Copies of this chain bind each other. A is one copy, B any other.
Amino acid sequence: MKRFSPYTDLALEAAEAIGIKEREQKGIEVAEKESEAGRITTVRITNSEGSSRTGKPQGSYITLESPYMRENAPDQHCQIKEMLAESLAGLCDLGREEPVLVVGLGNRYVTPDSLGPKVISGILVTRHIKDSLPNELKGKVRPVAAVTPGVMGLTGIESGEIIKGIAERIEPSAIIAIDALAARSASRINTTIQLADTGVTPGAGVGNKRFSLNRETMGIPVIAIGVPTVVDAATLVNDSLNSIIGSMKEASSHGSEFYRMLEELSDEERYELIAQCLDPYTENMFVTPKEVDSVVESLADIISGGINMALHEGISSNNVDSLL
């Protein structure tokens, strides 16, 4: 799980915080498309100014949003798997035979951080049986391997280093890394999947020099897939405060002075002020939906299903299991 910060892990939320006009000047392109099961938004960060304004590396970010993700809605889940498979194929063009390594980041023992390891349980792994497949499957099934490196607190090793070591031995053509994210808005928790061709930095922000998984460090494309499963407590208070002040400002002039003062603060200053006022124990707390345990299972199923469809041929969301 990425460190809880006032800055969201979602490029879409980072872009939304910037005025539409300004975006164009700053190398931030946003395109939206509606579908039956939900919305697909593509954010492209095309230069270093866009990158520094959003705090995100240059590249493409595809966000799938659907309220159905956190509901029991098998039909819509199938549609989302298809959207995910298509988006993934769009970010990473590979020949049918090229091997892929799927990586489940995060801590399997902490529910909101267990998304990555749970996705791995659903991945159709084929690298070790490629040679013994029946002929009719040989052209359809890609060599896929899948690992869960664990988190540094439990292994003593940066996840990035573990993946680098494994990739050097098995030489995949691309890496797909799944991780739980932090969002700014509570309504995006468990309703949003972000795909990015910019890679991922496991545990970013906890320490200083973390080993990133991206094209530069690994020498191959690294696609990151993430779902926000938590909001950090200070962000929640910050956003709630803004909303409260805003609604008061509209209703009366009571809060205007206070509001002006808060407005004069930068985002960072305001967040720091709130973080200081929070109970010191809150620092290590997160905000997550009550039903997170079951929703993470369901999200893992959606993501592994989508990845399987993207990586192999002739797989629909129904026949994955019976294929092999």
Interface residues of A (CB under 8 A from B): 72-75, 109-111, 120-121, 125-129, 143-150, 152-158, 161-162, 164-170, 185-187, 189, 231, 233, 236-237, 239-241, 243-244, 247-248, 254-255, 257-258, 261, 273-274, 277-282, 284-294, 318-319, 321-322
Contact between B279 and A127, CB atoms less than 8 A apart: no
Tell me whether chain A's interface is mostly helix, strand or loop, or mixed: helix
CB-CB under 8 A from A153, the residues of chain B are 125, 128
Top-8 shortest CB links A-B = A127-B156, A165-B165, A145-B156, A72-B321, A258-B258, A165-B169, A125-B156, A186-B279
Give chain B residues whose Cβ lies under 8 Å from the Cβ of A322: 72-75
12 cross-chain CB contacts under 8 A: A74-B321, A109-B293, A110-B292, A120-B154, A125-B155, A145-B157, A147-B155, A240-B277, A244-B274, A255-B261, A287-B287, A288-B288
Which residues of the other chain, B, contact A152 by a CB distance below 8 angstroms? Answer: 128
Q: How long is the Cα–Cα vector from A236 to B273 in the complex, in angstroms?
A: 16
Chain B residue with minimal CB distance to A276?
A: B247
Q: A161-B169, A237-B241, A254-B261 are in contact. List 7 more A-B contacts (CB 8 A).
A: A110-B291, A125-B154, A145-B156, A147-B157, A240-B278, A257-B257, A285-B288
Between A144, A257, A279, the greatest number of chain B beta carbons within 10 A of the residue's beta carbon is seen for A279
What residues on B are CB-neighbors of A285 within 8 Å? 186, 189, 231, 287-290
A279 adjacent to B239 (CB under 8 Å): yes
Contact present for B170 and A161 (CB under 8 Å) = yes
Given contacts A152-B128, A281-B187, A289-B281, contact A170 B146 (CB under 8 A): no
Least CB distance, A298 to chain B, in whole angstroms: 10
**Residues from chain B with Cβ under 8 Å of A319 in the complex:** 74
Chain B's closest residue to A243 (CB) is: B277
| In the complex, residue of chain B having the shortest beta-carbon distance to the beta carbon of A167 | B165
A152, A187, A240, A273: residue with the most chain B Cβ atoms closer than 10 Å: A240
Q: Which of B161, B279, B292 contacts A187 (CB 8 A)?
A: B279
B279 near A284 with CB under 8 A, answer no
B185 touches A156 (CB 8 A): no
Tell me the complex Cα distance, A155–B158, Å. 19
A67: nearest residue on chain B (CB-CB)?
Answer: B281
Contact B243 A281 (CB under 8 A): no
Q: Please, how many angstroms separate the alpha-carbon atoms of A168 and B167 in the complex?
A: 12
Distance in Å from the Cβ of A184 to the closest Cβ of chain B? Answer: 10
Bound-state Cα–Cα, A154 to B293, Å: 14
- A109 touching B156 by the CB < 8 A rule? no
CB distance from A230 to the nearest CB of B (A): 9
A174 to B111, CA, bound (A): 33
List the B side residues contacting A168 at CB < 8 Å. 165, 168-169
